[in-house]
Amino acid sequence: MGTSQSYSAPPSWTDIKGQVTRLAKEDTISSFKSKKLISSFIDHNGGSRVLSGRARGRAGGGAIATGGAARNIAGRLASFISAVGTHGLSDSLGRFGWTDLIGKPVQEVLNALLDRLGGDSSTIEDVDARMALSKLQERYFAEADTPERLEEILIQQVDRLEPLLEEFFGFYLHELFCRVFFERLVQRVGEAKAHSFLEVIGDVINSTFTNRTAERDLTNIDWNGPDGTSMITDIMETTLEILGGAE
C-alpha cells in the first residue's frame, strides 16, 4: 500500500477518525463494518459526485481529494488501451510518440508506461493516482514476459475497459484511505495492526469489483475529447456509488 506520504484528516472528520481507530482495534473486522466505513469515507470527502468531479465540494469544505489526477490517468489509460486494440502495441507506441519503446524488453516498456500514463508526481494526489496505476499494472500485466504477451493482455482489456477503470478507481480510493489514516493508525494500534487493517479495507474494495462486467459500449469513445472526459467522470462516479458513496 502506498503509505510513504501521509495527510492528516481534517478536524471536522472527528467521527470517522474515531470509527477507524475503533474498528482497527477489533480482532475480526466484518465486511459489513468495512463497507460502512468506506461509504462514510467517500461521504466525508463530499460524496460520489464531488470526488468524481461531477459537482463542486460542499460548503464548508472538508474534502481531502478532488480525484482529478486519477481521472487524468484513467483517460490516458483508456486512450492507450483502445489504441492498442485497434492498431496493436508497436503502432500505438508510435502514435503516442513513444517510438523509443518499440522493441524494448517488456519490463522496460511497463516501467515507461507507468511514467508516461501516470504523469507527474508533483502533488500528493498525483502520487496516490500513480500508485493506483502501479497496482493495476501489477494485477493485469505482471505475467507479460514479452511485448507480444503484453499486447495480447492489453487487447483483452478492450471489451472490459469499464470494469478495469472501476478497479483502478477502487485502487485510488484505497490509496486515499491509506494516506489519510496510516500514520494515525500506527500511533494508536501499532504498525502491524495498521497494515493488517488497511489490507482488509483494500480487500473489501477490490472484492466489490470481482467479476464485474461492462455495462456500456465504449468502443467509439474519443478518450481525448469531451465525450471521453464525461465518460471517465461517469465511470468514477459509478465506482464510488457502488462502494456506497452518497451524492
pLDDT digits (tens, 9 = 90+) for 52-96: 998 876 544 578 889 999 999 999 999 999 999 999 999 999 999
pLDDT confidence bin for 2, thresholds 50/70/90: very low
Position 58 scores a pLDDT of 55
Position 3 scores a pLDDT of 44
Position 236 scores a pLDDT of 97
How far is 218 from 222, CA to CA, in rounded Å? Answer: 9
Position 4 scores a pLDDT of 43
Is pTM beyond 0.85 here?
A: yes
Sequence-distant (6+) residues with CB within 8 A of 103 are 90, 147
How far is 76 from 53, CA to CA, in rounded Å? Answer: 17
Position 61 scores a pLDDT of 55
Neighbours of 153 (CB within 10 A): 15
